[in-house]
Amino acid sequence: NKTEQYAATTLDADRLAQSIKRHLQQSLGVDLEEAGPAEYWEALSLVVRELGLDLIRKTRHKERDEKARRVYYLSLEFLVGRLLGNNLHNLGIYKQAEEAMANLGVNLTDVLEHETDPALGNGGLGRLAACFMDSLATLDLPAFGYGINYRFGLFKQDFAGGKQVESPDGWREESCPWGIERPKRKQLIKLYGRVSERAGKAVWEDTQEILGMPWDVPVTGYGTDTVNTLRLWESRAAEGFDLSSFDEGRYQESRSGEIQAENVSQVLYPNDNHPAGKELRLIQQYFFVACSIADLIARYKRENGDNWDDFAEKVAIQLNDTHPAIAVPELMRILMDEEDIVFSKALSICREVFSYTNHTLLPEALEKWPQNLITKVLPRHMQIIHMINYHFLHTEVEAQWPGDNNMKRRLSIIEEPERPGGQQMVRMAYLSVVGSHKVNGVAALHSGLVKTTLFPEFNEMWPDKLVNVTNGVTPRRWLDYCNPELAKLIDDTIGNDGKVDWRRNLSQLDAINAYADDPAFQKKFAAIKHDNKIRFAAVVKELCNIDISPDAIFDVQIKRLHEYKRQQLNLLHIMALYRRLLDNPDLDVPQRVFIFGAKAAPGYKVAKTIIHAINRVAERVNNDRRIKDKLKVVFLPNYRITLAEKIIPAADVSEQISTAGFEASGTGNMKFALNGALTVGTLDGANVEIAEEVGDDNIFIYGLTVDEVAELRHRGYNPKDVYNSNAELKAVIDWLASGDLCPEEPDAFRPLVDSLLGGDYFLTLVDYQAYSDAHDKIVATWKKPELWWKKAIINTASMGKFSSDRSIMDYAKTIWNMA
Ligand code: 26Q
């Protein structure tokens, strides 16, 4: 019963202060007098860790007694963000901690700012995994997250002359009190070597070994004693590694050409929606998968004994994209080679256990690995992939399309080279589909396209396999924690007593719809937004030294930099607005601030060019007295979760402007609407469902639809035609190309201009005019405050569907068979 007090809430400020002092002195060896916010941060984190570990233990015992089915979420990324404030919130002791700190003479908010933000993910996919962990614990579902404890998270970003400069994110160099090592649960895994046959059995030998050390992070739920585990693996050299050569003094040389075990968990690959194809990345994938599968099997055996009959009943494994797809042949290997289970039985166990989430339709983002590379690194797994493929093609595809060799070639897990001399590639998505019982897309539109364009044949073979689970976000971090004033207004308006509990039942926000027209409520809602904007303006001043007015429209685009997300469209429009103001400085328009935050993959040339161009335009616009502060452009460096928490509550307009059909879902869009920003967006990803929930009047939809995109491509499209027929658009592109914005390097923006005029694959120019018109509507609406705030309130009130609690319940019911 969730309305009961849970354990942590009985902690009062005095007892908390005692624990903080104890940790300061006894764990950190710091005197009270020398302690500053950083020391207090560490001490309070240790207090919370202690609480978390105690509750983890209790959660584990409860689950063991109940012999529950567990879900294991396998992901190369968990973009958790700062943990202390969120954990205090979830445990229900935020107020008490505030009081305890005040009694010690420190301000909790200052203390929280001392936490380094763990950046163990690239963007949406990693943040989704973090929201899901929060919801799993909140819903009391038995769950583990498995991933990698990278020594270096996503690179830090700086700007030099407007260009992105990367530096390593050695986040653990600051102390990191969250994780706790569990040497008892370490794993030894194999790589390379070869496969021999002995007594009719495959033996994988002459391998290299690396050790996986688990590092457990407690994941608290909101308003519950359930605390789950995020288990992150760190690679180490196996003890006794190559001792013979060590004795002979050949230690160094014997290791040359071999993998350095420690390298495996060193660094997160910074590619978002574009695979890297590097051997070390494949090893990372296998390393954490092998550790995790061995770990969960050991747990199963501890709880259920050596009998495999119940395995599929007790274990559900979710593959977060294809990155952990090697888990399928790994479990097959263990079942067949170590547990003597026959192939067909092993495959049906896998299919009951695994399910796979697809996060992208971008052809270049679909993972494929050269067969030769897999054969070298994981020879036994390559054999097993061939066995799975053989069975799939010659039994299952043959039954569906008898004698159709063309279909077999199309559906094969192994892609044959197009040209002689090319290499065979392993299609990880096909392996994942064949090895799973359910495959889901992440928004209704996306899941439809997964069925019709990505995997139409699979959908025909297995009509119930492909399903939708629309993404969601945790309202604890993305409303309650990041926007406390709005949370309080909601409490004061609809109540916060056992019956109403929107933090755990976000649909109850619907009751706010009744106040959308209420002038008093509008006034409070607008005042909160204004406060958030004042606070955020101070952040901008500190980070960028730019003055922005809280009375301006704050128009925000924060997400990874990618051509399909079309930051360049936003840029072209800003350039046009600036020119309109130069033509007519007395134009009757509201002040506007365009805010960007985005990291580009270090190897992605056009993306980096777009960053450079935005920064150069910003510099020009922000320093031009003639336009009288009517337009400002801010590009915040080093965008990350911590910044998102400050930007989103301050946003008026949310830019969700991807080319239709390219953004699988988007989750930032949900966070903005939840915090009362109005969306300008295409009918793409979850925007479609957001529009359904808020109603067409309360969102600014523009641009080509998926069908129109397909039709245009079919007809043939020449960006030059649009360029030549739209004078404003032509003028800004010419300006970009002219070198005027970057005189010391006049060709700096060539890659962007070439991408636009030479093909414009993402249809930026086609959508330009509609986008500009949508912005005119935004301005017209802003000029009618009662209308604006009505729409904003309806947005907040209508976001119930987009809680990650709902997403997780969907997974639990339709995929994991758990609820
Ligand atoms: C793969 C292989 C090698 C190296 C890197 C990668 C790699 C890494 C990250 C490939 C893709 C990603 C990230 C993808 C991602 O974030 N996708 C986003 O997922 C969100 C959650 O479902 C969606 O909301 C976004 O629409 C989608 O772009």
Say how many CA atoms lie within 13 Å of 695 toward its Cβ: 12
Of the pLDDT bands very low, low, confident and very high (cuts 50, 70, 90), residue 241 is: low
Residue 772: how many CB atoms within 10 A of its CB? 18
What mean pLDDT is reported for the chain?
A: 95
User: Which amino acid belongs to residue 703?
Assistant: G
pLDDT surpasses 70 at 262: yes
Q: Which CATH architecture has domain 67-81+117-471+808-814?
A: 3-Layer(aba) Sandwich (3.40)
- Percentage of the chain beyond pLDDT 70 is 96
Nearest CA to ligand 1 atom 1: 275
Name the catalytic one among 671, 775, 790, 806. Answer: 671
Of the pLDDT bands very low, low, confident and very high (cuts 50, 70, 90), residue 175 is: confident
Nearest CA to ligand 1 atom 4: 275
pLDDT digits (tens, 9 = 90+) for 315-324: 999 999 999 9
Nearest CA to ligand 1 atom 14: 273
CA of 477 to the centre of ligand 1 (A): 21
**Rounded distance between C-alpha atoms, residue 181 and residue 232, angstroms:** 10
Tell me the two tokens of residue 685.
Answer: 């990803």
| Contact in structure between 157 and 166 (CB atoms under 8 Å) | yes
Residue found by looking up tokens 């570990």 in the block: 53
The sign of the torsion formed by the CA atoms of 252, 256, 262, 268 equals: positive
pLDDT surpasses 70 at 331: yes
Phi, psi (5° rounding) for residue 528? -65, -45
Alpha helices of 623-749 — where are they, by DSSP H?
641-647, 668-674, 687-694, 706-715, 719-725, 727-738
* Catalytic status, residue 560: yes
User: In the prediction, which pLDDT does 8 show?
Assistant: 65
Kindly list the distances between the CA atom of residue 465 and the CA atoms of 349, 439, 451, 458, 509, in Å, as whole numbers in the listed order.
16, 6, 10, 8, 33
Strands 466-468 and 653-656: unpaired
DSSP state of 648: G
CATH superfamily of 475-802: Glycogen Phosphorylase B; (3.40.50.2000)
The sign of the torsion formed by the CA atoms of 807, 813, 818, 819 equals: positive
Strands 592-597 and 438-441: unpaired
Closest ligand 1 atom to Cα of 685: 26
> Which of 117, 178, 223, 115 minimizes the C-alpha distance to 474?
223
Name the catalytic one among 138, 322, 642, 667. Answer: 667
CA of 436 to the centre of ligand 1 (A): 20
CA of 330 to the centre of ligand 1 (A): 23
User: In the prediction, which pLDDT does 354 show?
Assistant: 98
Residues with Cβ within 8 Å of 725's Cβ and at least 6 positions away in sequence, in order, are none
pLDDT surpasses 80 at 685: yes
CA of 178 to the centre of ligand 1 (A): 26
CA angle 734, 740, 741 (to 5 degrees): 100
User: In the prediction, which pLDDT does 254 show?
Assistant: 47
Tell me the two tokens of residue 621.
Answer: 């616009």
* Catalytic status, residue 359: yes
> Which of 149, 147, 144, 148 minimizes the C-alpha distance to 72?
144
> Which of 564, 540, 794 minimizes the C-alpha distance to 674?
794
Of the pLDDT bands very low, low, confident and very high (cuts 50, 70, 90), residue 257 is: very low
Nearest CA to ligand 1 atom 8: 272
CA of 125 to the centre of ligand 1 (A): 5
Q: For 404-419, what is the mean pLDDT?
A: 97
**Rounded distance between C-alpha atoms, residue 59 and residue 32, angstroms:** 34
Tell me the two tokens of residue 169.
Answer: 């994110």
Q: Under DSSP, is residue 374 helix (H, G, I), strand (E, B) or coil? A: helix
Tell me the two tokens of residue 428.
Answer: 């990880």
Name the catalytic one among 560, 616, 790, 791. Answer: 560
User: In the prediction, which pLDDT does 11 show?
Assistant: 84
User: In the prediction, which pLDDT does 260 show?
Assistant: 85
Residue 464: how many CB atoms within 10 A of its CB? 9
> Which of 97, 152, 147, 142 minimizes the C-alpha distance to 119?
152
pLDDT surpasses 70 at 727: yes
Residue 236: how many CB atoms within 10 A of its CB? 16
Q: For 375-396, what is the mean pLDDT?
A: 98
**Rounded distance between C-alpha atoms, residue 669 and residue 680, angstroms:** 10
Name the catalytic one among 281, 359, 446, 616. Answer: 359
Name the catalytic one among 127, 438, 565, 592. Answer: 565
CA of 272 to the centre of ligand 1 (A): 5
> Which of 662, 654, 667 minimizes the C-alpha distance to 683?
662
pLDDT digits (tens, 9 = 90+) for 88-145: 999 999 999 999 999 999 999 999 999 999 999 999 999 999 999 999 999 999 999 9
User: Which amino acid belongs to residue 506?
Assistant: L
- Percentage of the chain beyond pLDDT 90 is 91
> Which of 267, 87, 53 minimizes the C-alpha distance to 179?
53
Nearest CA to ligand 1 atom 21: 125
pLDDT surpasses 90 at 640: yes
395 alpha carbon, distance to own chain's centre: 38
* Catalytic status, residue 659: no
Of the pLDDT bands very low, low, confident and very high (cuts 50, 70, 90), residue 2 is: very low
To test the ligand 1 pocket, which listed residue (150, 271, 289) has its Cβ within 8 A of the most ligand atoms?
271
pLDDT surpasses 90 at 523: yes
| Rg of the chain on CA atoms, in Å | 27
CA of 419 to the centre of ligand 1 (A): 30
Name the catalytic one among 559, 566, 608, 612. Answer: 559
**Rounded distance between C-alpha atoms, residue 433 and residue 445, angstroms:** 19
* Catalytic status, residue 671: yes
Pocket of ligand 1 (CB under 6 A): 122-125, 128, 269, 271-273, 275-276, 281, 323, 359-360, 365, 367, 442, 471, 663-667, 685
**Rounded distance between C-alpha atoms, residue 101 and residue 94, angstroms:** 11
> Which of 453, 412, 454 minimizes the C-alpha distance to 431?
412
**Rounded distance between C-alpha atoms, residue 215 and residue 531, angstroms:** 40
User: In the prediction, which pLDDT does 498 show?
Assistant: 77
Residues with Cβ within 8 Å of 674's Cβ and at least 6 positions away in sequence, in order, are 473, 475, 478, 479, 795, 796, 799, 802
Closest ligand 1 atom to Cα of 271: 5
Task: Tell me how far apart the terminal alpha carbons of the chain are, to the nearest angstrom.
Answer: 17
CA of 578 to the centre of ligand 1 (A): 34
> Which of 503, 502, 442, 504 minimizes the C-alpha distance to 667?
442
* Catalytic status, residue 559: yes
478 alpha carbon, distance to own chain's centre: 14
Closest ligand 1 atom to Cα of 686: 24
CA of 360 to the centre of ligand 1 (A): 7
Tell me the two tokens of residue 74.
Answer: 């396998």
- Summary count for the chain: helices (H), strands (E): 34, 23
Listed in order, the ranges of the chain carrying CATH 3.40.50.2000 are 67-81+117-471+808-814, 475-802
**Rounded distance between C-alpha atoms, residue 370 and residue 383, angstroms:** 14
**Rounded distance between C-alpha atoms, residue 306 and residue 304, angstroms:** 7
| Contact in structure between 553 and 778 (CB atoms under 8 Å) | yes
| Contact in structure between 251 and 231 (CB atoms under 8 Å) | no
User: In the prediction, which pLDDT does 10 show?
Assistant: 74
pLDDT surpasses 60 at 419: yes
Closest ligand 1 atom to Cα of 666: 24
CA of 359 to the centre of ligand 1 (A): 6
Phi, psi (5° rounding) for residue 414? -100, 120
User: In the prediction, which pLDDT does 469 show?
Assistant: 98
3-state SS of 117-182 is CCCCCCCHHHHHHHHHHHHHHHCCCCEEEEEECCCEEEEEEEEECCEEEEEEECHHHCCCCCCEEC
Tell me the two tokens of residue 35.
Answer: 């302690």
Residues with Cβ within 8 Å of 372's Cβ and at least 6 positions away in sequence, in order, are 423, 424
Q: Under DSSP, is residue 446 helix (H, G, I), strand (E, B) or coil? A: helix
User: In the prediction, which pLDDT does 1 show?
Assistant: 39
* Catalytic status, residue 477: no
**Residue length of the chain:** 819
Residues with Cβ within 8 Å of 305's Cβ and at least 6 positions away in sequence, in order, are none
Nearest CA to ligand 1 atom 24: 666
State pTM to two decimals.
0.97
Residues with Cβ within 8 Å of 159's Cβ and at least 6 positions away in sequence, in order, are 165, 611, 615, 635, 637
Nearest CA to ligand 1 atom 19: 125
Phi, psi (5° rounding) for residue 148? -115, 135
pLDDT surpasses 60 at 368: yes
User: Which amino acid belongs to residue 551?
Assistant: D
**Rounded distance between C-alpha atoms, residue 768 and residue 762, angstroms:** 12
pLDDT surpasses 70 at 303: yes
CA of 238 to the centre of ligand 1 (A): 32
